[in-house]
Each structure stands twice: as C-alpha cells, then as structure tokens.
Amino acid sequence: MNALGRHLLAEFFNCDAEILNDAEQVEMIMKKAALVCGATIVNSVVHTFNPHGVSGVVVIAESHLAIHTWPEYRYAAVDVFTCGDTVDPWIAMDTLKSYLKADSTKTMSLNRGELHNEKVLRHKPQELEIS
C-alpha cells in the first residue's frame, strides 16, 4: 500500500429501523465488524439520542469505525478507517451492511496519508524519526 490507511465513507439505505435505534445492538454490530475484518478493539462509545438515533465509535488499534443513525429514515452514515495492510475495511462494510439489513449502500474510498516518500509506508514505524 502506498498510503498509511484506507478510509471508507458509506451511506446505508433502507436499514432495519429498530436496529438503528438500539444502542446495544449497534455497538455489538460495530464490534463484530471490527473483529471480522481483523482489527484490534481498543474501546467503544455509543450514545442514544432523544427521541431517536444512535451515534457510536469503535476505536481500533488500526484507527476507527463510526456510525450515525437516523431510524426515522432507515438511514445510517458509516465511517471505517483502517491503517496498515492487515485489516480490510471492505469486510467491515459488508458485515455492517448485512447486520443492519441495508438494501443498498453508496461508498466512497479514500487513501489517507499518501506521503510523497520513496520508502514503504507503515502505520506503525519501527523507530520514530523526527526531522
């Protein structure tokens, strides 16, 4: 990979509204997606809004997964950012789509940290070099 990480930004349409409004389920699904794609979970935070909706983030050693839900529209905005080449963000996206029961998605993929450097980029360098 010629970048430090891959960042997927997705819109999930026609999801299960009950799941989108259940913070416990959303957190479990986000953690499942992180584990299935090979990530190491560091922590998670999920918040329920009044009258409805959930926002959450799962911090992974390789970056993060985030979600914001609008159950009234059966819509979720999803963000999966992974660093390195041992974690596949597309697997996380497929897992989320399945568990949220989305019937369609729209996804944009970005390379993050495309540094103009001839050496191989690693998300965890062997030694810290400050110049």
Q: Which residues of 76-89 are buried (b: 16+ CB within 10 A; e: fewer)?
A: bebbbbbbbeebbb
Q: Which residue in the list 15, 37, 64, 83 is annotated as catalytic? A: 83
Q: What is the pLDDT of residue 113?
A: 85
Maximum C-alpha span of the chain = 52
**CA pair distance 4, 26, nearest whole angstrom:** 28
pLDDT in tens, 43-54: 999 999 999 999
Architecture in CATH of 5-109: 4-Layer Sandwich (3.60)
68 is catalytic: yes
64 is catalytic: no
Q: What is the pLDDT of residue 124?
A: 56
Residue 103 has, within 13 A of its CA and on its CB side, a CA count of 4
Q: Which residue in the list 7, 37, 44, 63 is annotated as catalytic? A: 63
> What does R_g of the chain's alpha carbons equal in angstroms?
16
pLDDT in tens, 69-92: 999 999 999 999 999 888 999 999
15 is catalytic: no
- Across the chain, which has 131 residues, the per-10-residue mean pLDDT values are 87 98 98 97 97 97 97 98 92 98 97 74 58 57
